[in-house]
Amino acid sequence: MIAGFEETLVADGDGSGGTVSPYRFFTAEEWSHFRADTPLTLTAEEVHKLRSLNDPIDLEEVRRIYLSLSRLLSSHVESSQMLFRQRGRFLNFGEADAKTPFIIGIAGPVAVGKSTTARLLKQLLARWPSSPKVDLVTTDGFLYPNAVLEMEGLMRRKGFPESFDTAAILRFLSAIKAGMPNVKAPLYSHLSYDVLPDGFVTVDRPDILIFEGINVLQARDLPAGGRMVPMVSDFFDFSIYIDASTDLIHHWYVERFMKLRQTAFRDPASYFHRYARLTEEDALSTAEDLWNNINMKNLIDNILPTRPRADLILRKGRDHLVETVALRKL
């Protein structure tokens, strides 16, 4: 019997009314058993530092969910490396041909915990016995600068697909997959709410790259004639979508906004400093406006439709902890 979340990931397979899903579903408890003997290499203090504001993830949640995920990703990386060696023998690769980075895409709506997941995986994967080099890049730096968004009338659509420099993202990922050294990715300041004009992070041929952002699984319209049009997700070897019900995401977004009003927004240098001076009632009204007219629209129109494209979906419950894991069948 399929119900609720699982029901959204099935389809009428043959037109006869029967259902089929490309996913296998696991409760968090079932999923936790797949960690086997994977060692826990993080401390409670490290987890506390890695989690985002309003994210209650703790060491037990790492044991329950993320050790199994780390083990699964390890097997995918190893399989990818084995396939590379086999293909090399088939095609007679020269010694100069090196395995390109394994890229993991992490998608999902605002306030759902993408950043925490990305940072946790970076630390867990880097602590495998083989000590792989793991880098993390977010799509925030690939947003158009505020000056451009204002000129194009897109400030109220910041975070929507059209607010990102998709061509720059594709150039960056192309260079990474080509094995180029010292590839630069732009940086973003959440304090100034803008791309840093001269801020860059250098990515130098990592074994694994985690690429995190709300719209990284976004598809594109395909042109007639079979002309090639690359998508960001074409460069991913594995993709993860962090999920929750719309009502919960709404609650977490507003709750986070109200907490930021008492913390980061109080900094005079913050783009949102004006919100710190609002009354409680006005602040709540502002948060609801931002949710209803920007973030919910982006979620419904652009982000949620990309969920079925993920290889793995982590579905969170009211306590912000994972309740269900959906893993795409091979």
Q: Per residue in 283-300, pLDDT tens?
A: 999 999 999 999 999 999
**Residue from 93, 88, 234, 91 nearest 174 by CA:** 234
Within the chain, strands assigned E span 11-12, 19-20, 23-27, 102-107, 134-138, 183-189, 194-203, 208-212, 238-243, 312-316, 322-328
Mean pLDDT on 268-283: 95
Residue 55, domain CATH: 3.40.50.300
- Non-local (6+) Cβ contacts of 165 within 8 A are 142, 143, 144
Query: What percentage of the chain exceeds 70 in pLDDT?
Result: 95
pLDDT at 1 over 70: no
Tell me how many domains the chain contains.
1
Q: Which of 8-12, 191-195, 202-206, 255-259 has the lowest mean pLDDT?
A: 8-12
- Count of other CB atoms within 10 angstroms of residue 24: 11
pTM for the whole thing? 0.94
Q: What is the pLDDT of residues 56-91, one digit of tens each?
A: 899 999 999 999 999 999 999 999 988 888 888 888
Q: What is the pLDDT of residues 36-58, one digit of tens each?
A: 999 999 999 999 999 987 888 99
| Amino acid (1-letter code) at residue 279 | T
pLDDT at 12 over 70: no
Mean pLDDT on 1-27: 74
Q: What is the pLDDT of residues 113-127, one digit of tens each?
A: 999 999 999 999 999
pLDDT for residue 185: 98
Q: What is the pLDDT of residues 115-162, one digit of tens each?
A: 999 999 999 999 998 889 999 999 999 999 999 999 999 999 999 999
Q: Give me the domain span that covers residue 119.
A: 4-219+228-328
